[in-house]
Structure 1
Amino acid sequence: MTRYAMITGASRGLGLALAEALARRGRNLILVARQRDALEAVASELTQRFGVEVLFRACDLSEPLRISGFLLELEESDRHIDLLINCAGLRSYGHFLAQDWMQEQDLIEVNILALARLCHVIGNAMAVHGGGQILNVASLAAFQPGPWMSNYAASKAYVLSFSEGLREELRQSGVKVSVLCPGPVRSAQRLIERLASSQRVLSPEEVALYTVRALARNRAVIVPGRRNRLLTYGARLGSRWLVRKVAGAINLAYRPR
């Protein structure tokens, strides 16, 4: 039976970098994102460069019915996924009460509900086969409240807590669970445009390489970058009132222009 690594949010940014890092290591892939044209281009390039099988499926993870159809296809195809990477995610910025509610709901659907559903369905299949690995992508924002990004930060806190809990639950089944908490990554995201020229901000490729190596060591919580790891300690050891004040000030300073 052919084994695949499945990556959501794989058409750009960190998801794309993870797909390339795994293809370079000879992994067959199933790529999931919303944009079919982008996925098709990525699949073609990775197949040509690395000689691996790359399947793809355009699926909007904010739509539960689309997810149901996709999961049914996976079940009927009898393809075995031994690595699931939940990288798809949405971000919102600004005063929560001023945001469009449908966009905030989509964020919850993608960042929390779709991620948990994929873990449940594919995690069960992994347990039946006696093993597998799940990587959920959270954020440094998971370690503290995030004023001006309250819904986003809360969704990533869920991912962090859920992943650590699931790791213990699945330990005896042979399914390994890790959570990736990257800091800002050099990309097209407007929130970090002012950080993009900084040497302290890792590229998607650097984060992906660090992550793949950490997965091979079965690390529970993966935080690329020494500075980012230090920030997690500050968030956990500092007073809650001070942490949220500082986080709010930082988020305001780097607000989208």
Structure 2
Amino acid sequence: MPVALITGGSKGLGRAPAEAPARQGWDLVLDARTSVVLEATAKEVRERYGRRMAAVPGDVTDAAHRAELVAAAGEPGGLDLLVSNASVLGAEPLVRLEAQPLEGFRQALETNVVAALGLVQEALPLLRASASGAVVTVSSDAAAEPYGTWGGYGASKAALDRLAAVLGVEEPGLRPWRR
């Protein structure tokens, strides 16, 4: 069975990429920071589709957690799809750049860009070994459109888009998708 690893997969936009592969017979590894919500989502998806489901709560900015996610994905024999959906805004409420807290901006870069790259690096051996390895990076229209108060978040998603594009050039055997 193919295996998908989905970060930020417990609710909202992250839940859809969890349900779609399960519906098609894929096994899943789901990540989210909130273990209660993650476990509930995993249970619902497992019961609905009868697939193997590993719920691994944690923070994708932690290298040990990323290694744990990839190890969980590799247990049944490989990894075919990595969906980088985990994300933070960096400031809530969103503010103009003149008031953007630099620590919040660093957090957005760390979660939305650095952690996504770290997870790809950790998962590359398994993805390369897959006959159909793919990476999906979940972006935002704020990466391309200059919305007021969305500057920090948009900049982090633009950086994520660029990493995905370069990954496609450097790893032609993979199929990176930016959404």
Identify the TM-score tier after normalising by the shorter chain.
0.7 to 0.9
The residue aligned with 2:27 is 28
Distance between the aligned counterparts of 1:29 and 1:119, measured in 2? 17
1:99 is displaced (CA, Å) by 3.6
Greater percentage in helix: 1
| Pair 1:71 & 2:72 matched | no
Aligned to 1:59: 58
Give the match's secondary structure for 1:81: coil
Structure 1 distance, partners of 2:140, 2:46, is 30
Q: Which residue of 2 aligns with 1:44?
A: 43
Indicate whether 1:120 and 2:118 are aligned.
no
How far off its partner does 1:72 sit? 4.7
Closer, same or farther: CA 78–119 of 1 in aligned 2, 3 Å: closer
CA distance in 1, matches of 2:60, 2:52: 23
Write the distance in 2 (CA, Å) between the matches of 1:108 and 1:30. Answer: 24
* Structure with the larger RCO, 1 or 2 (CA within 8 Å, 6+ apart): 2
Match of 1:103 in 2: 104
Alpha-carbon distance in structure 1 between the residues aligned to 2:81 and 2:108: 24
How far 1:129 moved relative to its partner? 4.3
Q: Contact between 2:5 and 2:29, CA under 8 Å: does it hold in 1? A: yes
Secondary structure of 2:30's match?
strand
The whole-number CA distance in structure 1 between the counterparts of 2:171 and 2:73 is 25
Deviation at 1:77, TM superposition (A): 7.4
- Measured on the aligned residues, the alpha-carbon RMSD in Å equals 2.0
Rounded to whole Å, the distance in 1 between the matches of 2:150 and 2:114 is 19
Secondary structure (helix, strand or coil) at the match of 1:38 reads: helix
Contact map agreement 2:85 2:138 (CA 8 A) in 1: yes
Q: Which residue of 2 aligns with 1:94?
A: 95
Give deviations 1:78-124, integer Å, cap 9, x for gaps. Answer: 43111000011111311234244332221111101001111122123
Q: Secondary structure at the match of 1:52?
A: coil
Superposed CA deviations along residues 152-185 of structure 1, whole A, max 9, x for unmatched, are 11111112222122112211xx2111110xxxxx
Q: What displacement does 1:76 show?
A: 7.9
Distance verdict in 2 for CA 1:58–1:109, change over 3 Å:
same
Structure 2: segments with no counterpart, 5+ residues: none
User: In the aligned structure 1, how far is the partner of 2:174 from the partner of 2:113?
Assistant: 20
How many Å separate the matches in 1 of 2:56 and 2:158? 28
SS in 2 for 1:152: helix
Aligned CA distance change for structure 1 residues 97 and 125 (closer, same or farther; 3 Å): same
Distance change (3 Å), C-alpha of 1:17 and 1:125 = same
Q: Does 1:149 align with 2:147?
A: no
**CA distance in structure 1 between the aligned counterparts of 2:53 and 2:86, rounded to whole angstroms:** 18
Larger radius of gyration: 1
Q: CA distance change for structure 1 residues 139 and 97 in 2, over 3 Å: closer, same or farther?
A: same
Question: How many residue pairs align between the two structures?
Answer: 174
Identity of aligned residues (%): 29
Task: Tell me, in whole angstroms, the C-alpha distance in 2 between the residues paired with 1:94 and 1:30.
Answer: 34
Q: Name structure 1 gaps, 5 residues minimum.
A: 181-257
Quote the Cα distance in structure 2 between the aligned partners of 1:70 and 1:158. Answer: 20
Length-normalised TM-score, structure 2: 0.87
Match of 1:166 in 2: 167
